[in-house]
């Protein structure tokens, strides 16, 4: 199984749409919906996760779990109940975000120092949503160190989470290489077979995926920045015999990647979505942001990025990029 990661400010519903059109992804998780001290109106959930208006799936048919982030068990439960009324493909809880602004307000990875509170949150959400609605959680190996990794994982599992995605670094590690995939293995061993464990972190290539699965002992991966940099990565990873599901891919064979020319119609699709959903002053930035990641895998993206990096007017950028890309 291959999951597409949530990435605040990058991997939102527009990029989810495009990347799931490529194929290879079995399930997505949305970027987090911040829960503080109020019951959110339904429009907030559907604004962040518009797939809720499409049966909880991307246009390519890939299921999307909506992710909640917060620290108040009661408020999290009330919002989870409202979210469940919108029939997502499941609900995910964020205990992994390393952003300082989130941690400062007692959200994300900072809660990994409070396994008792984690248990309260997961338990309250589990009781508030239908028994048949999937509940998962995403965590890191810890906040400043790894001393409570297993304790936190057990708190989530014993309180009702049926699947854990583990990013193989602590908050203190940030996104600096390496990811410690082998540290996931003892958690998987403690939880299997009752609770599924998905490995995440620093998977940029098929070889990274092979090593991650081998060292973690997992049979499922979550791809984030690696998939943004190489939209054909999930298809290529299929050659490792990861179990295939709903997102095997349309028009692409398992084990194949995606060349630069084949990517261009999808980039145009992304650009049209950006134009429809993003304020004009930020539109050019969104395309340049994706090109920046694509440079890691495609030499052509580096040349294209240099060509458009100083352009901020949407119409001018469209002429400079898509005319020459064609």
d(C-alpha 325, C-alpha 298), whole Å: 13
pLDDT (average), residues 85-112: 93
Does any domain span residue 255?
A: no
Q: Are residues 233 and 296 in the same domain?
A: no
Does any domain span residue 224?
A: yes
Does any domain span residue 215?
A: yes
Q: Are residues 187 and 294 in the same domain?
A: no
Backbone angles phi, psi at 267, to 5 degrees: -65, -35
Segment 255-297, tens digit of pLDDT: 457 899 999 999 999 999 999 999 999 999 999 999 999 999 9
Does any domain span residue 142?
A: yes
Q: Which of 28, 75, 97, 212 is catalytic?
A: 97
Q: Are residues 120 and 195 in the same domain?
A: yes
Q: Are residues 33 and 119 in the same domain?
A: yes
Q: Are residues 87 and 228 in the same domain?
A: yes
Checking if the pLDDT of 253 tops 70, the result is: no
Q: Are residues 205 and 284 in the same domain?
A: no
pLDDT of residue 243: 55
Final residue belonging to a domain, choices 240, 272, 294: 240
Does any domain span residue 249?
A: no
Residue 200, burial from CB neighbour count under 10 angstroms (0-12, 13-18, 19+): buried
Exposure string (b/e) for 50-70, b if CB count within 10 Å is 16 or more?
Answer: bbbeeebbbebebbbbbbbbb
pLDDT of residue 248: 43
Q: Could you identify the residue written with the tokens 């799936």?
A: 57
pLDDT (average), residues 74-78: 98
d(C-alpha 100, C-alpha 65), whole Å: 24
The confidence band for 92, taking pLDDT boundaries of 50, 70 and 90, is very high
The confidence band for 307, taking pLDDT boundaries of 50, 70 and 90, is very high
Please state the domain count of the chain.
2
Residue 97 falls in the annotated catalytic set? yes
What does the mean pLDDT of the chain come to?
93
pLDDT of residue 183: 97
Q: List strand residue ranges (DSSP E) for the chain, in order.
A: 2-4, 27-29, 33-34, 64-69, 91-95, 135-140, 163-167, 196-200, 221-223
Q: Are residues 21 and 102 in the same domain?
A: yes
Does any domain span residue 229?
A: yes
33-34 vs 27-29, strand pairing mode? unpaired
d(C-alpha 139, C-alpha 60), whole Å: 28
Q: Could you identify the residue written with the tokens 């240099």?
A: 306
Q: Are residues 96 and 140 in the same domain?
A: yes
pLDDT (average), residues 20-40: 96
Q: Are residues 75 and 116 in the same domain?
A: yes
Residues in the chain: 326
Q: Are residues 152 and 105 in the same domain?
A: yes
Q: What is residue 11's DSSP assignment?
A: B
- Within 8 A by CB and 6+ apart from 294, the residues are 228, 229, 230, 263, 301, 305
Q: Which domain holds residue 321?
A: 260-325
The confidence band for 251, taking pLDDT boundaries of 50, 70 and 90, is very low
Does any domain span residue 82?
A: yes
């Amino acid at each position: 199984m291959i999951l597409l990661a949530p990435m605040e400010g990058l991997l939102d519903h527009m990029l989810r749409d495009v990347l799931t059109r490529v194929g290879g992804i079995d399930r997505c998780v949305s970027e987090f919906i911040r829960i503080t001290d109020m019951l959110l109106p339904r429009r907030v959930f559907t604004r962040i996760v518009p797939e809720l208006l499409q049966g909880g799936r991307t246009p390519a048919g890939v299921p999307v779990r909506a992710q909640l982030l917060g620290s108040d068990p009661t408020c999290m439960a009330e919002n989870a109940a409202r979210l469940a009324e919108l029939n997502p493909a499941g609900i995910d809880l964020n205990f992994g975000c390393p952003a300082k602004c989130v941690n400062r307000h007692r959200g994300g990875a900072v809660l990994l120092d409070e396994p008792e509170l984690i248990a309260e949150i997961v338990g309250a959400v589990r009781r508030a949503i239908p028994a048949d609605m999937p509940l998962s959680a995403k965590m890191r190996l810890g906040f400043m160190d790894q001393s409570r990794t297993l304790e936190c994982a057990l708190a989530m599992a014993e309180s009702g989470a049926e699947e854990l995605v583990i990013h193989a670094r602590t908050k203190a590690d940030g996104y600096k290489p390496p990811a410690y995939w082998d540290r996931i293995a003892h958690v998987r061993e403690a939880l299997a077979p009752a609770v599924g464990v998905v490995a995440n972190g620093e998977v940029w290539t098929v070889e990274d995926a092979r090593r991650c699965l081998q060292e973690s002992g997992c049979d499922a991966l979550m791809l984030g920045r690696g998939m943004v940099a190489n939209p054909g990565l999930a298809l290529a990873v299929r050659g490792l015999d990861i179990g295939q599901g709903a997102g095997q891919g349309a028009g692409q064979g398992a084990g194949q990647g995606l060349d630069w020319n084949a990517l261009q119609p999808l980039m145009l699709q992304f650009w049209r979505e950006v134009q429809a959903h993003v304020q004009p002053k930020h539109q050019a930035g969104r395309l340049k942001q994706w090109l920046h990641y694509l440079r890691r895998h495609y030499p052509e993206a580096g040349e294209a990025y240099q060509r458009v990096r100083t352009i901020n007017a949407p119409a001018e950028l469209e002429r400079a990029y898509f005319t020459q890309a064609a």
